[in-house]
């Protein structure tokens, strides 16, 4: 009596189709998760910038665009401080892998439609 070992071609094709269906579901989910992680990283950097700016303000009674070693952004995130004065500042953060930009403001540099000290992304 001869026993058959291995899989038939139909069984292998069914497995390949199932893996293809699962991959088509998982890949878009991964892309949105990556975008959310980038946005969270930008928001975190802006919150850390608020802490660094307030620390600088406590020592110098003004805000600055050059915080030196007291602030550094995450990998891939570019933070730009706009118009620091003695009364306020605003900043924006962008990431090389995202089309979104996050902004924050403190003091008199008001960005319409946002709350002071709260990062907003669009």
pTM: 0.76
Does residue 1 lie in a domain region?
A: no
Taking a C-beta distance cutoff of 8 angstroms, is the pair 98, 38 a contact?
yes
What is the torsional sign of CA 95, 98, 99, 105? Answer: negative
As a whole number of angstroms, the distance between CA 73 and CA 86 comes to 23
Tell me the per-residue pLDDT of 26-59, one tens digit each, with 9 for 90 and over: 888 887 888 999 999 999 999 999 999 999 999 9
pLDDT at 9 (0 to 100): 93
Has residue 3 been placed in a domain?
A: no
Position 91 in a domain: yes
DSSP 3-state of 19: helix
pLDDT at 84: 87
Alpha-carbon span 26 to 24, nearest angstrom: 6
pLDDT of residue 2: 64
Residue 5 lies in a domain: no
* Domain assignment present for 2: no
Determine the pLDDT at residue 109. Answer: 67
What integer pLDDT is reported at residue 40 of this predicted model? Answer: 96
Residues of the chain whose pLDDT is less than 70?
1-2, 109
Give alpha helix (H) positions in 61-93: none
- Domain range for 19 is 11-121
Is 46 among the domain residues? yes
Specify if 57 maps to a domain.
yes
Q: What are phi and psi of 23, to 5 degrees?
A: -65, -40
Name the maximum alpha-carbon separation found in the chain: 93
Question: Euclidean distance between the first and final Cα of the chain, in Å?
Answer: 70
Q: Report pLDDT for 99.
A: 93
Domains held by the chain: number: 1
């Amino acid at each position: 009596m001869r026993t058959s070992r291995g899989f038939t071609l139909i069984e292998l094709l069914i497995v390949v189709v199932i893996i293809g269906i699962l991959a088509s579901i998982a890949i878009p989910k991964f892309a949105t998760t990556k975008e959310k992680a980038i946005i969270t990283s930008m928001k975190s950097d802006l919150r850390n910038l608020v802490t660094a700016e307030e620390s600088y303000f406590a020592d110098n009674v003004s805000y600055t665009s050059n915080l030196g070693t007291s602030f550094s952004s995450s990998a891939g995130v570019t933070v730009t401080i706009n118009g620091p004065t003695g009364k306020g500042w605003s900043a924006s953060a962008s990431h090389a892998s995202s089309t979104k930009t996050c902004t924050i403001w403190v003091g008199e540099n008001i960005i319409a439609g946002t709350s002071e000290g709260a990062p907003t992304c669009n």
